[in-house]
Structures are given as C-alpha cells and as structure tokens.
Chains A and B, each alone.
Chain A
C-alpha cells in the first residue's frame, strides 16, 4: 500500500510517500490512520487532529470508514487551499 502525504502533513511526518504493509486488522482508512499514529512521534503529532486530515483512496475523497486494501494509493492531507 502506497501512502502519500501533502503540505504540512508531509512536512511534519518528514516524507512525501512511503510503501507500508499494515497488519491484518487494518481494514479502513480510520484504522490505517490509527495504525500510522503508532509509527512514531512525528506521525502521532501530524495525525493527532483528524478533523484536519482529509483522505483520498486511489485519488477520490473518502471518509474514515472506507475500506483499504493492498495496492491502494492512500493520500493524507490538510484541507485544500487552492484557487
């Protein structure tokens, strides 16, 4: 599973993308964030406030109950500020 981070989430976590293999219990985007938070203090800090973490799976916006599977591209980013 490929995870992408953008904007201040990328800066706080310290990487733009990584390949991860979450344990079997990680079935949804919400589970994935909970698991990522255990990977270190940078992750815990960046993902502490879920209200400002938007999630896309395979480039579509999804909620925290969306299923995730090996091979998915999952992106985590703050609310967008373009235009």
Chain B
C-alpha cells in the first residue's frame, strides 16, 4: 500500500526507483505525472490565465478513497507495485500535482492500471482546485468528460 497525500513536492525518478527496487520480477513501470497548467492556451473558463492553484482536500477520506482505488486496481490487474502521491496546498504553474505509477511483469497491465488510477482518482478522490486568475479566484468545475472517462472502466472490467 503506497498512498501519500502531502504538501511537499516529490522526486519522480527516486519514487519510481523505490517502487521497483529489489523486485526483479517487475518488467515495467507506467507512470503519470499531473502538472498545474497556466491555461494560457485559452482553454480555461473565461480564457483567463492561471497564476496559482490551491488544492483543498478532505483529510482522512482522501487517504481512504485513494486506498480503495489502489485496491481496485490490484484486484483487476497483476501489479507488483502501486504508488499514488497527491499534493495539496498552493501550487504554481509547472508544479507537480500528482504521481500515479504501476509496476507489473508486462506493460499492458502497467499502462491500463495507471490510466485507471487517474480516471478513478479524478472522480472519486476528495480534492478541489481553486485557481487564481486576473479576474479573481474561482473554483474549478467538475468536467463531464472526467465522469465519462471513469465510467468506461465499469464496462471494461475483466
């Protein structure tokens, strides 16, 4: 079980190395790193650029939900290691928000499980983003496509 919710940044290379150290049966690791975007490409609500973001969460329930998501991934794919690190607090564009990584004997399980972790995390882990823009602070609205991305794993469950 490797779930961490923290304000501090993390070292992706060191984390991935630690995930596989001492287990030569692992054939590969798939990972996803989520970053704070400045929305300068005009895809933010109202097209305002984002100068900072604050992530609020529900201590206790966050860890509980992430652990449940990890358990679900382990039940669906043959995984030798799972790691989820999610940050909270105030972050700047370019800062790392989240790391999800899955280690397995073969790449298909690692890739699929990592994608699953992120899709489920997006709709189940109790985090909320508030963006700072020139027009003021605004809460990020949940996206319909995130719900759809999570839904498809119900249909694809082996």
Give residues in A with beta carbon < 8 Å to B.
Answer: 4, 6-8, 56, 59-61, 75, 77-83
Contact = CB atoms under 8 A, between A and B. Distances in A.
B58 interface: yes
Contacts of B61: 56, 59-60, 75
A78 B57 contact: no
Contact of B128 (A4, A61, A80): A80
B37 interface: no
3 closest cross-chain pairs (CB), A and B: A82-B127, A79-B142, A7-B128
B142 A6 contact: no
Interface of B: 34, 55-58, 60-61, 64-65, 86, 97-98, 118, 121-130, 139-142, 146
Given A83-B34, A83-B121, A6 B60 contact: no
Most chain B Cβ neighbours within 10 Å, of A8, A77, A82? A82
Contact of A80 (B34, B97, B127, B130): B127
Contacts of A77: 58, 126, 128
Given A75-B58, A82-B57, A83-B121, A56 B126 contact: yes
B62 to A, nearest CB: 8
